[in-house]
């Protein structure tokens, strides 16, 4: 067995501001999977902040290396507080399963920002995070313009489907 040199420690901050540990992992991908699963399974639990840090074993480093530091924000599309923005890598993803709006720096063009909304297969490339938020908000506004007061997940899903159908009609 390879010697383990680093450990990966995910944690979240709950609605009362208390830090909740999610275990200690020998691989970053395992720690990240755990964190992501926790956020999507509990999207309505009001978690505010999440972190993933790396510690070096058998060293006297007093500080961990931050790999992710995420804050829950209001999603520009579904309006739930499920839009997790990572300030380390500067990207964002909505953890409401029916929404999953996202923002990421482009892999191909360094200065560009990509954003998207999987339910309708929408993606766009813009110049900044702010432009990406604006772009997504425009879609969110279209949906909310036709929404009822009820904002549960089934309503959102239905609205997304209806919106998708209306787009199909527009394009034929």
Nearer to Zn ion, 77 or 133 (CB): 77
The reply on whether position 39 binds Zn ion by CB under 5 A is: no
Kindly write down the DSSP assignment for every residue of 59-110, as one continuous string: ---SSPEEEEEEEEE--TTT-SS-EEEETTTTEEEE--TTT--EEEE-SSST
Of 31, 67, 78, 143, the one binding Zn ion (CB under 5 A) is 78
Backbone angles phi, psi at 20, to 5 degrees: -115, 120
- Give the one residue of 52, 67, 75, 143 binding Zn ion; rule: CB under 5 A: 75
Q: Euclidean distance between the first and final Cα of the chain, in Å?
A: 59
Residue 92 found at the interface with Zn ion (CB under 5 A): no
Q: Which stretch binds Zn ion (CB under 5 A): 29-37, 51-59, 95-103, 128-136?
A: 95-103
Using CB under 5 A as the binding criterion, the count of chain residues that bind Zn ion stands at: 7
Taking the complex as a whole, how short is the minimal distance between the CB of residue 26 and Zn ion, in angstroms?
Answer: 33
Greatest alpha-carbon pair distance for the chain in Å reads 64
Secondary structure (3-state) at 130: helix
94 is a site residue for Zn ion (CB under 5 A): yes
CB of 110 to Zn ion, least distance (A): 27
Torsion, Cα 149 154 160 166, to 10 degrees, reads: -80
Residue 93 beta carbon to Zn ion: minimum distance, rounded to whole angstroms? 9
Interacting residues toward Zn ion by CB under 5 A: 75, 77-78, 94, 96, 99, 101
């Amino acid at each position: 067995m390879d010697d383990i040199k680093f450990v990966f420690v995910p944690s979240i901050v709950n609605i009362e501001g208390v830090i909740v540990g999610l275990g200690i992992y020998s691989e970053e991908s395992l720690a990240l999977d755990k964190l992501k699963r926790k956020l999507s399974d509990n999207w309505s639990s009001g978690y505010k902040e999440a972190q993933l840090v790396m510690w070096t074993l058998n060293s006297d480093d007093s500080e961990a290396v931050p790999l992710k530091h995420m804050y829950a924000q209001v999603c520009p599309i579904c309006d739930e507080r499920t839009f997790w923005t990572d300030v380390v890598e500067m990207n964002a993803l909505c953890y409401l399963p029916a929404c999953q709006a996202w923002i990421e720096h482009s892999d191909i063009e360094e200065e560009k920002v990509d954003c998207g909304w999987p339910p309708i297969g929408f993606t766009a490339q813009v110049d900044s995070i702010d432009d990406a938020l604006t772009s997504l908000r425009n879609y969110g506004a279209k949906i909310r313009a036709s929404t009822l007061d009820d904002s549960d997940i089934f309503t959102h899903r239905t609205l997304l489907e209806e919106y998708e159908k209306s787009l199909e009609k527009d394009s034929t």
